[in-house]
């Protein structure tokens, strides 16, 4: 085990990526979830996405949710947008950190947005310019970075090429999504190495799914490689890892629990976070796939 | 990430540790499970335990199960025993590899067998002698090695002291059980280092539970420390990690899936193992907590 970073930055994605992949919940519950997360000590929250309500009814009330929430000092909030219309809505709502998505795999990108990866990258160049003109930052999320459910392995060199392209177009940050949980420690190592070789200073964030149980092993590997930014979803909101087709976000409290026991600071109050996970479970009305939510932290004695 | 071993030895514990912690299943199903596992390429199987049928009704048919099974060439089979009566039954049944258990935590040991750890270690010295006299090997499983649900942290020096003692008494192998899933990569590193410092050549086997999501991260850490022997339970038999009080064995197919993708050989045919996990799910009649069983390996495309 190499030297571990003393501190990592967790971005809580439950309110957006999580709830977008659950049955719709009431606007008031979304606001309450967001505000509860803001009080956990987490530094970053993906709050909403500005997508077409017909495509994703779960996010149809994004404006109301954000208007009703009470942003906390010291917390950075971001929104995801699919296109310039969404970007304008995010900017109008006051967001200064905006995310856009492209799939590393052509087939996955076509199935999602009916365009090739290259076509989406051209669109993204325009979106980055639009966001920068308005004074916002642009993060590019590269989906299927660790494998594609249609194509299989995705060449890390292809992902690194996408990183080169979007950085040249002005992207402020890059996130790598393990969209269907195909990541393993080997894939993490290969991808981070391939990107770092060409872009040693690019800010990288990793987004793991626990679909095949590897999320924390992947995160540990990334930590050992010096990566310090990770997405996670409270309670594992966003689909059960044990159900077919589920997204299977790694649960924030499982990430925080492991990191804290290893002496890696997250700034997050784990007990408070577990209370929020209990609330998340309540609003989606099903048992969430989080061991730390069920069993409590290892420090909880019987 | 350090150099990884080229090959590891998995001991499949589903038939014993797994089924012992599930509702009872018919004898015929146990035999079929055992024989199916024998055909996966796994090198070792914990087959049964010889315990009092009133204490553990799930294992009351241990003699019938073992008599009905068809041991495969090249597979090592073991049995767990609580005392000399169980040891004699195991020997009479023809086992040449036998396991005994002690908890590193006094409180846990007392709650299990109403004796202190030291008292149990005295008993174990006698059991080792009994087994050796009959030409069998004796493995000592040290439960609560990574933490106790009643006492909390367990000092690695205490566990290392137990290792010293049982090796002096002739134990052939040591296994460390993460009985309630309190292990993290840090705890694994501390324990393996503490033991290795005093007993550099002792054969160590690690047994992880996924109660808090850390099982594969723990296993990765152990691999990096050069540990090459691990327990795992097909389908995660032995209690759901998301249910209170569950044992939460890590699923063999999740272990094998990650190891194979990292280029670490196990000798196991993953597709065949997943079929056995499907059968395991069928005989216990509930959804088992295995992501690879649900989603398939990362190489399975949509």
In this predicted model, what pLDDT tens digit does every residue of B87-96 receive, in sequence order? 999 999 999 9
In this prediction, residues B121-140 reach a mean pLDDT of 98
Contact B73, B41 (CB under 8 A): no
pLDDT of residue B2: 61
Would you tell me how many other CB atoms lie within 10 Å of the CB of residue A110? 16
In chain A, DSSP assigns E strands to 9-12, 44-49, 76-80, 97-103, 137-143, 173-177, 204-207, 229-232
Residues in chain A within 8 Å Cβ distance of B251:
213
> A49 is written with which tokens?
């996405």
List helix spans (H) across A12-104: 19-20, 27-38, 62-68, 84-92
DSSP state of B4: P
pLDDT of residue A241: 46
pLDDT of residue B246: 52
pLDDT of residue A63: 98
Count Cβ neighbours within 10 Å for each residue of B210-223 and write b for 16 or more, e otherwise: bbbbbbbbbbbbbb
| 3-state DSSP assignment of residue B40 | coil
Contact A98, A138 (CB under 8 A): yes
Give the residue, B2 or B97, on which the prediction is more confident: B97
In this predicted model, what pLDDT tens digit does every residue of A210-245 receive, in sequence order? 999 999 999 999 999 999 999 999 999 997 545 445
Give the residue, A242 or A41, on which the prediction is more confident: A41
Taking Cα atoms as reference points, which of B17, B19, B9, B1 lies closest to residue B285?
A: B19
Taking Cα atoms as reference points, which of A288, A297, A300 lies closest to residue A21?
A: A288
Cβ contact (<8 Å) for B262 and A184? yes
> A225 is written with which tokens?
């490689």
| 3-state DSSP assignment of residue A101 | strand
Can you tell me which residue has the tokens 């060439």?
Answer: B73
Cβ under 8 Å to A: B residues 170-189: 180-182, 184-187, 189
Q: How far is CA B289 from CA B100, B184, B253, in A?
A: 27, 19, 11
Cβ contact (<8 Å) for B217 and A241? no
Determine the distance in angstroms separating the CA of B76 from the nearest CA of chain A, rounded to an integer. Answer: 28
> B74 is written with which tokens?
């090249």
pLDDT at A153 > cutoff 70? yes
Count Cβ neighbours within 10 Å for each residue of B154-169 and write b for 16 or more, e otherwise: bebebbbbbbebbbeb
In this prediction, residues A270-285 reach a mean pLDDT of 97
List helix spans (H) across A98-184: 106-113, 117-133, 156-168
Surface-to-core class of residue A286, CB atoms within 10 Å of its CB (0-12 exposed, 13-18 middle, 19+ buried): exposed
Distance CA B36, CA B287 (A): 19
| 3-state DSSP assignment of residue B183 | coil
Interface residue A242 vs chain B (CB under 8 A): yes
In this predicted model, what pLDDT tens digit does every residue of B8-20 receive, in sequence order? 999 999 999 999 9
In this predicted model, what pLDDT tens digit does every residue of B167-181 receive, in sequence order? 999 999 999 999 999
Can you tell me which residue has the tokens 């699923």?
Answer: B251
Distance CA B286, CA B12 (A): 20
pLDDT of residue A302: 80
Distance CA A214, CA A184 (A): 6
- For chain A, give the mean pLDDT: 95
Interface residue A244 vs chain B (CB under 8 A): yes
Distance CA A3, CA A13 (A): 27
| 3-state DSSP assignment of residue B44 | strand
**CA-CA-CA-CA dihedral for B54, B58, B64, B67, to nearest 10:** -130
B205: confidence class by pLDDT, cuts 50, 70, 90: very high
Determine the distance in angstroms separating the CA of A138 from the nearest CA of chain B, rounded to an integer. Answer: 31
Q: Which residues pair with A174 in a beta bridge?
A: A140, A204
In this prediction, residues A167-174 reach a mean pLDDT of 98
Q: What is the largest CA-CA distance in chain B?
A: 57
B3: confidence class by pLDDT, cuts 50, 70, 90: confident
pLDDT at B208 > cutoff 80? yes
In this predicted model, what pLDDT tens digit does every residue of A182-214 receive, in sequence order? 999 999 999 999 999 999 999 999 999 999 999
Distance CA B254, CA B266 (A): 12
ipTM: 0.96
In this predicted model, what pLDDT tens digit does every residue of A17-38 receive, in sequence order? 999 999 999 999 999 999 999 9
B123: confidence class by pLDDT, cuts 50, 70, 90: very high
pLDDT of residue A3: 82
Report CA torsion sign: A230, A235, A236, A239: negative
Contact A248, A239 (CB under 8 A): yes
Surface-to-core class of residue B286, CB atoms within 10 Å of its CB (0-12 exposed, 13-18 middle, 19+ buried): exposed
Residues in chain A within 8 Å Cβ distance of B253:
none
Q: Which residues pair with A45 in a beta bridge?
A: A12, A77
Percent pLDDT > 70 in chain B is 96
pLDDT of residue B247: 61
Cβ contact (<8 Å) for A212 and B257? yes
Size of interface A-B (CB pairs under 8 A): 149
Residues in chain B within 8 Å Cβ distance of A216:
213-214, 216-217
Q: Which helix (H) or strand (E) holds A10?
A: strand A9-12
pLDDT at A6 > cutoff 70? yes
Taking Cα atoms as reference points, which of B115, B146, B105, B157 lies closest to residue B248?
A: B146
In this predicted model, what pLDDT tens digit does every residue of B25-79 receive, in sequence order? 999 999 999 999 999 999 999 999 999 999 999 999 999 999 999 999 999 999 9
Where does B9-295 sit in CATH, by number?
3.20.20.70
Among chain B residues, CA nearest to A241: B291
pLDDT of residue A37: 98
In this prediction, residues A243-253 reach a mean pLDDT of 76
Cβ contact (<8 Å) for A297 and B224? no
Q: Which residues pair with B204 in a beta bridge?
A: B174
Q: How far is CA A246 from CA A236, A237, A249, in A?
A: 11, 10, 9
Ramachandran area for residue A30 (φ above 0: left; ψ -120 to 50: alpha; else beta): alpha
Chain centre distance of CA A280: 17
Residues in chain A within 8 Å Cβ distance of B287:
242
pLDDT at B241 > cutoff 80? no
pLDDT of residue A252: 98
Domain ranges for chain B, please list them: 9-295
pLDDT at A62 > cutoff 60? yes
Taking Cα atoms as reference points, which of A225, A247, A124, A109 lies closest to residue A178?
A: A247
Length of chain A: 302
B287: confidence class by pLDDT, cuts 50, 70, 90: confident
Q: How far is CA A79 from CA A15, A51, A53, in A?
A: 10, 10, 15
Facing residue for A287 by CB, picked from B2, B220, B242: B242
Determine the distance in angstroms separating the CA of B295 from the nearest CA of chain A, rounded to an integer. Answer: 6
Strands B173-177 and B76-80: unpaired
Of these residues, B240, B251, B259, B270, which one is catalytic? B240
The CA-CA-CA angle for residues B204, B208, B209, to 5°, reads 160
Q: Which residues pair with A137 in a beta bridge?
A: A97
Among chain B residues, CA nearest to A178: B298
Percent pLDDT > 70 in chain A is 96
Count Cβ neighbours within 10 Å for each residue of A4-28 and write b for 16 or more, e otherwise: beeebbbbbbbbbbbbbbbeebeee
Cβ contact (<8 Å) for B258 and A185? yes
């Amino acid at each position: 085990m190499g030297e571990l970073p003393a501190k990592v930055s967790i971005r809580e994605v439950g309110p957006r990526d999580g709830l977008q992949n659950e049955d719709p919940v009431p606007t008031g519950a979304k606001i309450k979830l967001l505000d509860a997360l803001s009080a956990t000590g987490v530094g970053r929250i993906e709050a909403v996405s500005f997508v077409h309500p017909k495509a994703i009814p779960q996010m149809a009330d994004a404006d109301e949710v954000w208007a009703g929430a009470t942003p906390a000092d010291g917390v950075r909030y971001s929104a995801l947008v699919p296109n310039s219309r969404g970007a304008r809505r995010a900017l109008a709502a006051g967001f200064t950190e905006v995310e856009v998505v492209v799939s590393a795999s052509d087939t996955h990108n076509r199935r999602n947005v009916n365009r090739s990866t290259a076509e989406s990258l051209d669109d993204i160049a325009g979106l980055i310019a639009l966001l920068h003109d308005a004074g916002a930052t642009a993060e590019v999320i590269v989906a299927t970075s660790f494998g594609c459910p249609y194509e299989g392995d995705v060449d890390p060199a292809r992902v690194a090429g996408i990183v080169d392209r979007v950085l040249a177009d002005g992207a402020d940050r890059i996130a790598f999504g393990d969209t269907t949980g195909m990541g393993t420690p080997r894939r993490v190592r290969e991808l981070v190495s391939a990107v770092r070789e060409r872009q040693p200073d690019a800010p990288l964030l990793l987004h793991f799914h626990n679909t095949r149980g590897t999320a924390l092993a992947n995160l540990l590997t990334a930590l050992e490689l010096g990566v310090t930014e990770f997405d996670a979803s409270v309670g594992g909101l966003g689909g059960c890892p044990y159900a077919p087709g589920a997204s299977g976000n790694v649960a924030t409290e499982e990430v925080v629990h492991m990191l804290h026991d290893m002496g890696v600071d997250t700034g997050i109050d784990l007990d408070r976070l577990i209370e929020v996970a209990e609330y998340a479970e309540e609003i989606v009305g099903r048992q969430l796939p989080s061991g730390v939510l069920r069993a409590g932290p290892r420090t909880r004695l019987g």
